[in-house]
Each structure stands twice: as C-alpha cells, then as structure tokens.
Amino acid sequence: MSTGVKTHRITDPNDDTRFVDVDPYVIEGVGKSGWRYNQITDTIFSSYNVSSIVDDSTGNFDVNFTNSYSDAANITPEGTTRFTDFSGTGILAWDSFSTSSVSMNTKNTSGTNSDGSSAGTTSGGVLA
Amino acid sequence: MQLQHLKLWQRELALANAGYLQDAPQPTRCIVWEDPADLDAPAKITTPSPQWLRMATLGGVLPPVEAYHDARLSIELTDGRSYQGVTYLEAQDLRLFAKEKGEQVRHERVTDYPVHAAPVISSLTEQEALEYILKKDVPARAWSKAHGASHNRPNFVIAPREALPGSRFVRNAWGLNPDPASPIEVSMERARELFCRQVANRYLGLEAKLEKERGVAMLTGEPVEEKLQQLRAVDLKDLRRKAYEEVSTPEGLETLVPEILNEPPA
C-alpha cells in the first residue's frame, strides 16, 4: 500500500477558485513545448515537442506539435518572447490554437506584420 | 535506447536528457506548398525542427504517421455545432469549414490518441522524414487528391532549402513553382504592390520614431534633424513609378529602397 498525502486537488487556502488538479497537472507536469525561431532565415534554433514550423507569410507562422495536447483550451503560453526587426522590438502574439498546432503573429512597433529574428516561447498544458 | 514503452513526449525527453538531440543539424530540405482552399495566399514553407528530424533519423522513436491519422477528436464550433469522433484529417477540414463560415473552433479535445501505443518505426532518411511531415503537418487537401488536392498540378514540392530565395523582401508575393530546383515563383504584380506598401510603412514608422526622438536629441546632440531631412527627401511617388516602369525583378525592387529606409534597429 502506498503512503503519503492522497488528494485529487490542491486549492489555495484563501481562494477556492485557484486550484490545480493533481491528475494530470502534478503527475504529468506542465511546460510541454518550446521553441526559438528566426523567421528571417526560417531557422529553428531549438525546440521541444515541435515537429515543424510553417512559414506562412511575413510575420505569420504556425508551430506543429510532435505530441498533441489533450485539450486546446488548456494550452497556456508561458515564458518569454523575444523579437527584433528593422524597427527594434516588436510584438509576438498567439493567434489561434488547436490541439496539434498554434498560429503565431509578429508585428513591429508600427503594428505592421514583420518577420522576427528571434521569437521564442514555451507553452504548458496537458498532453494527449 | 529502448523507448517503445514510453509515451511519445517522454521519448523526446529521454533522448534530450541523454544528449542525443544536442547539436542536431539543420534540415537541408523543406516542403513548399499552397493551400488549395486559399490559392491567393502566399506559398507556405514547412520545415522540420532539427530535434524532430534527429528523432526520425535515429529510428525507434516515432510511430507510423497513420497513428496520428487514427487519432479521434471532439470539436465544438462557435455556432454550437458539435462533432464527435472526428479523425485527425477530418479535423483539418472542420477547422477550414469553421473559418469559411466565419465561425471559430470553440472547443477541441483529443478523445483517442493511438500514437503512444503504436509500434515505433525504423530510421528514416531525410527525404522520408519530409514525406512523413507532409502527411502529419500539412493539410491533406494539399497532398491527397481524395481530400481536395489539385488533379492538374501538384500543390506541394519537397525542395532543398538553399533553393529558396535569399531575400524575403517580397515574401508575400511568393507562389509555388512545383520544380524542386526553383520552388518559388514571384508574382511581380503583387511584389510591386508590396514594395510600395512596405516602403510607405517603413517611411511612416521611421518618421514617427524620429519625431519622437527629436526632443531628446536637442539635449543629446544626436543627428535626428539630419536624418529627418534625409527621410523627407525620399520621393515616394517617384519610387512607385520606378517600381512599375523600370524594374522587372524582386532583386531590382530591393535595390530601389533608399538607404535611410534600410537602417538596422537602433
């Protein structure tokens, strides 16, 4: 017989709306994909759980996951994003999610679609 | 290393921890494709990640691509319609259907995922790995006639990455040319439109930036005024005329960009 604390959910003692389910978040963990991508040279520097990246058009690209997420609603972007281009720092945004891919968009400070030289982020969630 | 008993994501983690995925070389090939559902869109370039490619060429890691196709999903659209037991490939069509109807996928969930339990496949060559990625990550409507791919001309080509244009200046004018040696054809009509829009955007962006820096420059002595004068000497109407009357290649368009608008980030 196993020992230790047995619980299904860990809840913030001061706020019942803040909780994490033990299964699968604690057992399976989070932080399930990550990448760093230069769209100018269409080069993936490093990645985890990424099978490919699609260069769609200027400032638009999709990231395909090796292992799908179990639920698209539970994918959460984490970590940092970096992006530089002709006009300096820009904006990296998550356009849309599915369980198997995510669409990204990069804009320069003028709000125009622009290729990023170093876009990187991680996403968490439960994998299928 | 025996990995079959692990979930797919655990296999990647195990390989990464054991150092197998470090310094994975960049792929030499990519897939250039067009979406038959949106032929006006620029050609898309799908490139495998170096770490995934290393796993494919090692062998004993990945499931057959059919295991992905056998996955089942439940999908609910914003109009309230709900679909159960949808296959991986049908899900691609449903997402497109939703987009064309102005709807969105409200909820998407994987209900069956045979990827982990499927037998692992042996080592792939890079070409075979690209064919795998085609069937996994490119919508079937681009590569399967049964799903809507063109019967008259291929909607994709696997090509050396070095055959792609060196400059992305008119990236949104790139179209598919189903010849691996030269997989991109540029629409000069669209390239000229892009050139004019891009130059105008750069002009306005730089002008706004310099105007903003003007006040500070009075104290720091930076040559902002000089740059503003150089910028205002740029004749946008004349550039447009040259783009349409004097230039016939994308490279020619790029040479028309005034030096001040090619300035690197500050």
Report chain A's mean pLDDT, rounded to a whole number. 78
| Per-residue pLDDT at A50 | 96
| Per-residue pLDDT at A82 | 56
DSSP-based three-state secondary structure for B184: strand
Tell me whether residues B161 and A42 touch, CB distance under 8 A.
yes
Highest mean pLDDT among B24-28, B76-80, B257-261: B24-28
Tell me whether residues B172 and A57 touch, CB distance under 8 A.
yes
| Per-residue pLDDT at B264 | 45
| Per-residue pLDDT at B265 | 39
Contact B216, B225 (CB under 8 A): no
| Per-residue pLDDT at A86 | 45
Report chain B's mean pLDDT, rounded to a whole number. 93
Which of B115, B171, B209 is the closest to A57 by Cβ?
A: B171
Residues of A in contact with B172 (CB under 8 A): 57-58
Contact A68, B196 (CB under 8 A): no
| Per-residue pLDDT at A123 | 80
Q: How far apart are CA B112 and CA A103, in angstroms?
A: 24
Model confidence over B183-231: pLDDT tens digits? 999 999 999 999 999 899 889 888 988 888 888 887 777 788 888 999 9
Compute the average pLDDT of residues A37-48.
89
Query: What is the Cα A41 distance to its own chain's centre?
Result: 21
Choose from B52, B105, B138, B195 for mutation: most chain A CBs within 10 A: B52
CA distance to partner chain A, nearest, from residue B245 (Å) = 26
Structure tokens at A80: 């940092």
